[in-house]
Amino acid sequence: MSEWLQGAIARGQQVQDGFSDQRAASLALLQEIKWPNRKTEAWRYTPLRAVERSSAQIKELSPELEPVSIADLQFLELVFVDGVLVSLPEELPDGLVIEMQESSLFGTIKPERHIFGLVNDVLAADVAVVRVAAGAVIEQPLRISNLMSEGAEGHIRVLVDVAQNAKVTVYEHAESQSGSLTTAYTEFRIGADATLEHYRFALQSGNQVSIGGSHFCLLERAQLNSTIIGFGSDLQRLDTDIIHRGEKADAKLNAIYLLDGQELFDLHANVEHEVPNCTTEENVRGIAADRSRAVFNGRIHIHRDAQKTLAELNNRNLLMSDKAEINTKPELEIYADDVRCAHGATVAEIDKKALYYLRSRGLTKGQAQVMLNFGFINELIDQMPNPTLAEWVRPIIRERFAQMEVK
């Protein structure tokens, strides 16, 4: 067991609150778990040296950090600074409740196999519980802002329960300063005939460690539309689980990761089809430049009773350097015999002829590569349900592309 994990367990033993029973169960699992290494399949390409050498510490007094503003878009805001919930919306619309109290949802959707999810179970200081009442339509998006100051350690946990026939948009946004370490996990239960529009922007980069997950349970005829956009850092790991637990549920997941320098980004996406007549569409696209490394593992598990399942997984990657590395592993595990499933993965280099053609027409090298890169991922940006959010993120991605050189 690593020294870092031993310290986390010791601190977790001191946490006492309304979630003590769930924390104790996770603590017992942590005490028996093995620290991942290259022989651990889920961490084969993602070393944890950045965690082990991190000097980030829990801060008693959080500095004043403000979440990014987005023109023409107002949020109901939950603001975490260094793992502490510092701000809640002053007024909530009818049908929406946000509270800090015991919830049976805690730990029931996030699988126990996620070692840092267990760490989050025992160390998250503030657990926010969001409830959307049956039939409620929340027009204003709810944003969960995770802000980390320099050298800080923080653990963020949010539970979201969307009741029957309700509709809500949840946007998870993270910003971190140098030397920080954070775990951030969110569990979503989407009730029968309910709709969740979800975004997770993990735009941290540089000397930071960020590990987290978004985990979804879909009941009968529930609808999920999720978009993930991530940059790399010393270590950026995101686990996503989608569990179809009610018939005729529909899930769509689009993900984009953009890496430069010596950054690392690891996305593990797992879909469990437990019941019949459900659909999943998953599209993941990544671009890696310089000496960066991307890891993608996409697994779709069709259980024996999940007949009439329709599931598709596609992962496309673009290398901008012969020293960049992309490890992709799409998986289909099928135990039903009446299903339509497909998966695929590609890794290609940027088209040098296209780059030369654009430069011969008067574009600089930077302008040409931004154009080519944006064409590669723009389809997924266009599919974002919120056009205002899409227009806000486009210049951020363009700026990112401008820093990523073809080598």
- 43 — pLDDT class (breaks 50, 70, 90): very high
384 within some domain: no
pLDDT (tens digit per residue) in 313-329: 999 998 888 899 999 99
The rounded percent of the chain whose pLDDT value lies above 70 is: 94
User: Would you state the pLDDT for residue 406?
Assistant: 64
User: Would you state the pLDDT for residue 362?
Assistant: 65
Average pLDDT estimate for 92-112: 93
Residue 365 or residue 40, greater confidence: 40
* The two three-digit tokens of residue 213, written as one number: 């997950």
- Work out the mean pLDDT of the chain and round it to a whole number: 91
Residue 344, pLDDT > 60, answer yes
Residue 357, pLDDT > 60, answer no
157 within some domain: yes
399 within some domain: no
User: Would you state the pLDDT for residue 358?
Assistant: 63
User: Would you state the pLDDT for residue 356?
Assistant: 63
Residue 73, pLDDT > 60, answer yes
pLDDT (tens digit per residue) in 114-149: 999 999 999 998 999 999 999 999 999 999 999 999
User: Would you state the pLDDT for residue 351?
Assistant: 66
Query: What total of structural domains would you count in the chain?
Result: 1
Residue 349, pLDDT > 80, answer no
**Whether 136 contacts 169, CB under 8 Å:** no
pTM over 0.85: yes
Residue 361 or residue 327, greater confidence: 327
58 within some domain: yes
Average pLDDT estimate for 1-22: 85
Give the whole-angstrom CA distance, residue 361 versus residue 174: 39
pLDDT (tens digit per residue) in 246-300: 999 999 999 999 999 999 999 999 999 999 999 999 999 999 989 999 999 999 9
What one-character-per-residue DSSP string does 227-277 give?
EEEEE-BSEEEEEEEEEE-STT-EEEEEEEEEE-TT-EEEEEEEEEE-SSS
User: Would you state the pLDDT for residue 218?
Assistant: 98
Average pLDDT estimate for 163-175: 97
3-state secondary structure of 16: coil
39 within some domain: yes
- Report which residue type is found at 407: K
106 within some domain: yes
Range of the domain at 300: 3-352
382 within some domain: no
Residue 219, pLDDT > 70, answer yes
Give the whole-angstrom CA distance, residue 98 versus residue 89: 9
Top-ranked range on mean pLDDT: pick from 235-244, 348-357, 369-378: 235-244
**Whether 179 contacts 115, CB under 8 Å:** no
- 103 — pLDDT class (breaks 50, 70, 90): confident
* The two three-digit tokens of residue 259, written as one number: 């890496």
**Whether 318 contacts 289, CB under 8 Å:** no
